[in-house]
Amino acid sequence: MTDKAILTVNDKQFERPLVTGSEGGPAVDVSQLLSLTGLTTFDPALANTAVCRSAITYIDGEQGVLRYRGIPIEQFEHNPSFVEAAWLLIFGHLPQASELAYFRERLTANELLHEGLKNQFHYIPTDAPPMAILSAMVSNLACFHKQFLELEDAEKLVEAAARLISKVRTIAAFSYRRSRGLPFIYPDPSLRYCANFLHMMFSLPYRQYIAPPEIEEALNLIFILHADHEQNCSTTAVRVVGSARANLFASCAAGVSALWGPLHGGANVEVIDMLERIHRGGLSPEQCIRDAKDKNNPFRLFGFGHRVYRNFDPRARMLKTLCEKVLPNLRYKDPLLDIARKLEDLALADPYFIERKLYPNVDFYSGILLRGMGIPTNMFTVIFAIGRLPGWIAHWKEQHDDANARIMRPRQIYTGSAPIDYVPIDKR
Ligand code: ACO
């Protein structure tokens, strides 16, 4: 196997080295291309560009492989808690019992919001989108925890991570309570991470919501399945902001904003909207497939397709299994599950989707599952954000720890006007 690539431009040849990781194919190192040749590379949407070296998550999109720190995602189905998976992603190894106990203790100690932050909820309109609230509040944490604006040692990073992972759950639950005009329910330190979140979401001052074990376990797995996905759009946003040496809170707030988009984390909301339209009779599954294939129609089959997975998304497979396990045991039978199955069958048999290798992604079944658990649609992407937070922190840390990291600053192909003169307003 060769260890270099040769680029020929106007009869001139340039040699560039290949970079290999521990797994996956090599990449052509173009980092010195501009200074050596005066050439830049053109790669819209960065679809062919490895922007960093990373040891956190490995994906093989052709084979449907996803691993966190080397561990196949399927092995998380029954074993660790979300808190344990978060430690693994951020600190690179499975926690020892003492480390896990300490991290849990710090999560519990940090679950309350500063009163100043809590009071800000009263000035937010009740119909405000929860993702807007989440992004603002994560950014606002920098106002109340200024001691974490510089993270100079490992211990401080553990504390900052615990604060963020713990408080994001309280912020998320409070944003839901606010949207419903319900009183805030304070966290219960005796509860574990997922049960505590469900308690803050659904308890009443006079009646505590005790999460059924299968719901708590399902939420735990949902969080884990969303916890990292290497250089996805929101993680890249976190890295871009972090590359300017912006603090952890500001960088993660950028991640929340990116995740909000319907082509990214917002897709699970669009999936439910699409399934509901079919259920109400406004759209048939067959029409839905036809619309998705019609190039004159901007409609897409939400919950289908992925930039990296060209086979199947293992998270979607696990979520489908979880749906089949959890939903039949709930009192409420969701007709959307049957519609989703039908849509999936139609799409998987259709040459358009087969040729383009479009399979269900993580968002296809997550919304149906969350609905069954009583989570309102406008909270779906917030749940995704809680899950993705350890991944964002892990990437921020990895970049922060890299002595060679530089500010991210891409180039462009300029397509604007050639030089022209300024024309005073009375002469235009
Ligand atoms: N429905 C219909 N056609 C699709 C879909 C879809 N869901 N996804 C891709 N295609 C088509 C494209 O139109 C394109 O067709 P063409 O070759 O005839 O032009 C072809 O498949 C390739 O698609 P790209 O646009 O190149 O895929 P890209 O990698 O840019 O986008 C994305 C990936 C954004 C996920 C896309 O598949 C999509 O929009 N899916 C629906 C939204 C969604 O579910 N997003 C969640 C992704 S997972 C996550 O973020 C957690």
What pLDDT, on the 0 to 100 scale, is given for residue 56? Answer: 98
Query: In the structure, which protein residues have their CB atom closer than 6 angstroms to any atom of ligand 1?
Result: 263-265, 267, 292, 300-307, 356, 358, 361-363
Query: pTM of the prediction?
Result: 0.93
C-alpha–C-alpha distance, residues 305 and 312, integer Å: 9
Place of tokens 């988009």: 261
C-alpha–C-alpha distance, residues 297 and 155, integer Å: 52
Q: In what order do the strands lie in the sheet with 4-9?
A: 4-9, 12-19, 27-28
pLDDT tens profile 263-284: 999 888 889 999 999 999 878 9
Sign of the four-CA dihedral 284, 287, 291, 293: positive
Residues 6+ apart with CB under 8 A from 12: none
Structural contact between residues 361 and 265, judged by C-beta atoms closer than 8 angstroms:
no
What pLDDT, on the 0 to 100 scale, is given for residue 146? Answer: 87
What pLDDT, on the 0 to 100 scale, is given for residue 151? Answer: 81
Q: Tell me the three state secondary structure of residue 163.
A: helix
What pLDDT, on the 0 to 100 scale, is given for residue 1? Answer: 64
Q: Pocket of ligand 1, candidates 358, 363, 368, 370: which has the most ligand atoms within 8 Å of its Cβ, to mutate? A: 358
Q: Pocket of ligand 1, candidates 294, 307, 348, 353: which has the most ligand atoms within 8 Å of its Cβ, to mutate? A: 307
Expressed in angstroms and rounded, the spacing between residue 309 Cα and the centre of ligand 1 is 11
Ligand 1 atom closest to 271 (CA): 44
What pLDDT, on the 0 to 100 scale, is given for residue 170? Answer: 98
Which residue's CA lies nearest to atom 29 of ligand 1? 307
Which residue's CA lies nearest to atom 10 of ligand 1? 305
Q: Pocket of ligand 1, candidates 264, 289, 356, 364: which has the most ligand atoms within 8 Å of its Cβ, to mutate? A: 356
What's the 3-state SS for 70-104?
CEEHHHHCCCCCHHHHHHHHHHCCCCCHHHHHHHH
Q: Which two tokens stand for residue 155?
A: 């211990």
Strands 57-60 and 65-68 come out as antiparallel
What pLDDT, on the 0 to 100 scale, is given for residue 283? Answer: 83
In this prediction, the residues of the chain whose per-residue pLDDT falls under 50 are: none
Which residue's CA lies nearest to atom 25 of ligand 1? 307
Expressed in angstroms and rounded, the spacing between residue 266 Cα and the centre of ligand 1 is 14
Q: Which two tokens stand for residue 342?
A: 């039908």
Q: DSSP of 170-216, one letter per residue?
A: HHHHHHHHHHTTPPP----TTS-HHHHHHHHHH-BTTB-----HHHH
pLDDT tens profile 282-320: 789 999 999 999 999 998 999 999 988 988 899 999 999
Which residue's CA lies nearest to atom 9 of ligand 1? 305
